[in-house]
Structures are given as structure tokens and as C-alpha cells.
């Protein structure tokens, strides 16, 4: 095949949001997931064609949750697997679909770039305080009686979840080591597109002599992506989500979209409480961690991958030196909250979609279940 991509030695770690795999309102069939992934990989292939060396990572929350439900329903027939094994299973499942779809799109563009999925263990500290207070809900809902029985007989931590029932909660420790990092770096240098660290990685701890063992935990995928980006010395970290940019004063009359901001300015926005822990907070935190190491981080919509890396879309967070004069004006632009009101110089006319609007846009009538023949035709490159 003819090599047609532009020449560059720049590397980007791309963290795919959940909407790249499963969208709101969908059941989660293989066909649906393959259909969504096919569209996402078409855009990633365009990045490769533009000269970027791409390292892909992704979420796996719904997939692990489904495996835990399957474990519970079939426990009397098939031995249930622990959470770290479920994480590994979902990494393989999603990695297979990403790898196949991306390879097909690269082939259509006549780009002979190999794609390899690495089952990735990510080490956490056994002394992480998260193990003392599990907080991440996983798996199915149970009645209070069932939950109490599981706590007594299995020693599991359970918590009531917003009136919907009781769920198991597990620790969410910070990632400290991408275990197969040397192999990943070698593959990147050899021109391979690597899919790795899915779902934040398979959580493991190091014991005596450095021996590894799995733990029941969930690693934040965005923090793991930031660590991965630092470890492979990436030039950029791209976090893809379901909104076009990060916003301050989100969903208020003073809402403002953020374009290019320096690290100091973004830290001030975080201190002012603009980013919620359950949505944009972890993404912004991961970006700032990477920027502190000297890179550039971008938060953008899945539909604007190429534009975001060209600086034409999304929110771009840069070190102060790279921001130039912008950093000198940061303090004056930061919104400060007082008496329940937030004040900014001027509200941006661009409005972020509300959660309801985003869901409505994502779910198309008649598209809840996708025919397998159509999904496979698209993923195999059977369309222009």
C-alpha cells in the first residue's frame, strides 16, 4: 500500500468517552456498540492521516456493569469472576472492536499502520485512602435485605443509590504505574497505533518483591489517560466527550464556553467550583495534571476530533508559557462566586446543550437496535 499520511513525530493520547461506544437510550447490543465505534474510528483514522501517532484509551463502565449483572444472574450455574477479571474481559471486548474498526478505516485510506490492543494492568497503591472508603457504585441494584445479606456473608460494601436501590461500592484509587509501559512505548516508536489502558486499566497492586495481584477497584479512566500520556511523553492529551467544550457557569444565563486557557486560569476556575465531580471535574483534573508536565490538553466533542487537534474546536489547556499574553489576563477573567451568583465579564453566545438536549440528539428514532449486517458492513469498510 502507498503511505499517504503526513509526516510528523507528534504523539496524541486520545481518551474516548462513553458515547463513542454506547449512547444514551441504547440497550448495549454488540451491533449498537460496533456501529458507534465505527463512526469514532473513522475520525481517529483522519487524525492518523494528518500525521499524528495515536494512542487510544477508552471507558468500560457499562460493559463491566453488564458483566457483573451476568455474574449475579448466573452465579448458581457459572462461577462468577472478580472485578479485575471483568475489567480484563471488557478491555478485550472493546479493544477487539476498536482495533478492527480502526484497521479497516486506515486500510480504506491506504495507510499501512498496524493497530494493536494491549491488555493493560495499572498499579495503584495498596495504601491509597480510597480503600478505606469505597465510593464507586458498580453492578446491579439490590433490595435492602439483599444488600445486608451480601455485606454480612460476602463482606462487600453496599450503599443506597438515590432511591433506586442498593449497589455495591468499590474503591477508586489513583493510578501510579502503567505496568506494560515499556512495551507500549516501543510499539509507539515503531509506528504502531496502540489501544491500551481501557477503563483506567486493570487495577493491581504490587506486593512483596514487586509481585502483582488484582484488586476490586475502579480506576478513573481520565486520570489513567493523563498518566499514560505523561509516561509515553505525548505531545497532547485529547479527551473526547459529548459536549463541544468545557464551560464555566454551566447551564446558567452566564454560561461561557472556554477556548484556549492557560493552566493558572483553569486552576482558578476549578477553585471557584465550576466543574462538577460527576461530569467535567475528572476530565479537567486529568488535563491539568498532564499540562503541569508540559503538554497540551484538549477537551472536545467526538464529532470534532480533527478540528480540535487543529486548534479550531474544543477547550485547549496550555502551560502558561504557551499561552503568552493570555496568561496575564487570566485573573481578570476568572469568575468568582458570591451570594450564590457568578459574575463574568461577558457571557459567550455559544450555549452548551443541556443533558436532555444531548440525549435527544444522541438517540435517533428507530435506531435503538442496529441490524448486525449493517453494523458489520460499516465496520468492514463497505461504504464510501
Tell me the catalytic residues: 18-19, 136, 221, 283
Report CA torsion sign: 199, 202, 204, 209: negative
- Residue 84 DSSP SS3: helix
170 strand-pairing partners? 136
Q: What φ, ψ does residue 101 adopt, rounded to 5°? A: -65, -40
Query: 3-state secondary structure string, 165-187?
Result: CEEEEECCCCEEEECCHHHHHHH
The residue behind cell 444522541 is: 362
The residue behind cell 461561557 is: 256
Question: In which element (H, E) is residue 235 found?
Answer: none
Maximum distance among all alpha carbons in the chain? 65
d(CA 115, CA 55): 10
d(CA 174, CA 176): 6
d(CA 195, CA 115): 7
Q: Count Cβ atoms below 10 Å from residue 270 Cβ, excluding itself.
A: 14
d(CA 228, CA 15): 10
- Residue 116 DSSP SS3: strand
d(CA 261, CA 299): 12
d(CA 323, CA 261): 7
Q: Which three cell numbers stand for residue 119?
A: 491488555
d(CA 43, CA 5): 14
d(CA 37, CA 41): 6
Pairing state of beta strands 212-214 and 202-206? antiparallel
- Residue 229 DSSP SS3: helix
- For 93: left if phi > 0, alpha if psi spans -120 to 50, otherwise beta; the answer is alpha
Amino acid at each position: 500500500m502507498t503511505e499517504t499520511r503526513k509526516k510528523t513525530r507528534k504523539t496524541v493520547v486520545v481518551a474516548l468517552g462513553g458515547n463513542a461506544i454506547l449512547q444514551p437510550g441504547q440497550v448495549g447490543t454488540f451491533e449498537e456498540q460496533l456501529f458507534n465505534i465505527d463512526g469514532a474510528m473513522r475520525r481517529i483514522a483522519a487524525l492518523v492521516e494528518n500525521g499524528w501517532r495515536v494512542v487510544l484509551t477508552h471507558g468500560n463502565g457499562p460493559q463491566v456493569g453488564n458483566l457483573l449483572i451476568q455474574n449475579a444472574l448466573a452465579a448458581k450455574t457459572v462461577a462468577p469472576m472478580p472485578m479485575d477479571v471483568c475489567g480484563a474481559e471488557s478491555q478485550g471486548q472493546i479493544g477487539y472492536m476498536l482495533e478492527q474498526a480502526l484497521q479497516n478505516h486506515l486500510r480504506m485510506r491506504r495507510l499501512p499502520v498496524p493497530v494493536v490492543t494491549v491488555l493493560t494492568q495499572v498499579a495503584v497503591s495498596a495504601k491509597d485512602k480510597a480503600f478505606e472508603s469505597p465510593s464507586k457504585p458498580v453492578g446491579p441494584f439490590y433490595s435492602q435485605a439483599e444488600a445486608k445479606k451480601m455485606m454480612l456473608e460476602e463482606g462487600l460494601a453496599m450503599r443506597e443509590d438515590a432511591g433506586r436501590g442498593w449497589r455495591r461500592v468499590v474503591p477508586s484509587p489513583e493510578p501510579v504505574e502503567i505496568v506494560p509501559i515499556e512495551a507500549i512505548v516501543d510499539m509507539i516508536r515503531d509506528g504502531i497505533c496502540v489501544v491500551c489502558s481501557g477503563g483506567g486499566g486493570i487495577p493491581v497492586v504490587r506486593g512483596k518483591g514487586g509481585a502483582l495481584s488484582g484488586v476490586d477497584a475502579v480506576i478513573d479512566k481520565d486520570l489513567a489517560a493523563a498518566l499514560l500520556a505523561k509516561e509515553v511523553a505525548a505531545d497532547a492529551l485529547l479527551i473526547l466527550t459529548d459536549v463541544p467544550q468545557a464551560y464555566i457557569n454551566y447551564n446558567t444565563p452566564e454560561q461561557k464556553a472556554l477556548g484556549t486557557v492557560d493552566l493558572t486560569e483553569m486552576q482558578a476556575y476549578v477553585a471557584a467550583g465550576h466543574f462538577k465531580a460527576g461530569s467535567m471535574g475528572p476530565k479537567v483534573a486529568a488535563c491539568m495534571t498532564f499540562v503541569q508536565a508540559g503538554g497540551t490538553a484538549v477537551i472536545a466533542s467526538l464529532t470534532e476530533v480533527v478540528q480540535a487537534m487543529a486548534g479550531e474546536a474544543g477547550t485547549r489547556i496550555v502551560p502558561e508559557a504557551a499561552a503568552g499574553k493570555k496568561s496575564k489576563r487570566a485573573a481578570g477573567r476568572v469568575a468568582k462566586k458570591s451570594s450564590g451568583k457568578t459574575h463574568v465579564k461577558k457571557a459567550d453566545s455559544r450555549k452548551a446543550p443541556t443533558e436532555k438536549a444531548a440525549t435527544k440528539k444522541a438517540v435517533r428514532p428507530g435506531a435503538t437496535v442496529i441490524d448486525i449486517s449493517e453494523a458489520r458492513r460499516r465496520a468492514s469498510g463497505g461504504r464510501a
